[in-house]
Amino acid sequence: MSDSGEPVEPYEICDGDAPTPPRLPGVVETGKNADHLLDVVSAELLLEAEQRVHLGELFHLAVCGSDAIAQFLERMMYNPDMRRFPWAKTHCWLLDDLDSGERFGRLRETLVPHAGMDESNLHGVAQAQDAPDFDYVLLDIGVDGRVGGLHATPPGDETQVPVGIINRSSFVALIGMGGEVHCMLDALADAPECNLPVQQVQSRSGTTKWYLSPTTLEEDSRHYEE
């Protein structure tokens, strides 16, 4: 089932870990598991932010409102290596939300009290649609070809920033965790006619980077419990 509650078309599941990353436009980073992968994403996101701020500029970070990205941001709050993240000089933009504003509320509860971000530096979907180009966009990938809040069939109760705005970003980071996502990406490499959101997202003039792991965080947790 996708984030929107719609049924997901099945993809062939690989046996074991895929030996090579899928053929994708841009750079592909593969972690040994989901936990390791998110540490890599955190470290590289910190580097991008610090480089921008070092130039005397504000850092414009745009994120989707999925559970996976919300959990990643929450994880950043208690990661000691991320304490120097320049939240005070960061503007954060939400790329998709429910009509109720639930995702913006969760983002505010994470970043304002725990990161020390000024609430005026946090922006909802309506503002994001008229925002300047983003420095860094953080999205997750679903097994149905969804990217962030971009679905093949847009849900009726959501508002999303169009893919054209996302593709103007300097750095587009896409996180895909688990064997099913890996195999879906493999299958799409040989099926360009599908035209799913995951095939449409790519920085036009900057960096597109895919962060992939053979496991999900839930699978990692079950492994540690055994």
pLDDT of 2 strictly over 90: no
> What is the pLDDT of the chain when averaged over all its residues?
89
Q: Give me the architecture of the 27-225 domain, per CATH.
A: 3-Layer(aba) Sandwich (3.40)
pLDDT of 220 strictly over 90: no
Give the pLDDT score at 132: 87
pLDDT of 226 strictly over 60: no
Give the pLDDT score at 224: 57
Query: Poorest-confidence range of 7-16, 80-89, 98-107, 210-219?
Result: 7-16
Domain boundaries, the chain: 27-225
Radius of gyration of the CA atoms of the chain, in A: 17
Whole-number percent of the chain with pLDDT over 90: 76
Q: What is the pLDDT of residues 62-95, one digit of tens each?
A: 999 999 999 999 999 999 999 999 999 999 999 9
Q: What is the pLDDT of residues 124-170, one digit of tens each?
A: 999 999 998 999 999 999 999 999 999 988 888 999 999 999 999 99
Sheet holding 90-94: strands in order across? 27-30, 207-213, 171-177, 136-140, 59-63, 90-94, 122-123
Average pLDDT over every residue of 160-184: 96
CA angle 103, 117, 141 (to 5 degrees): 40
Distance of CA 115 to the CA centre of its chain: 19
End-to-end CA distance of the chain: 26
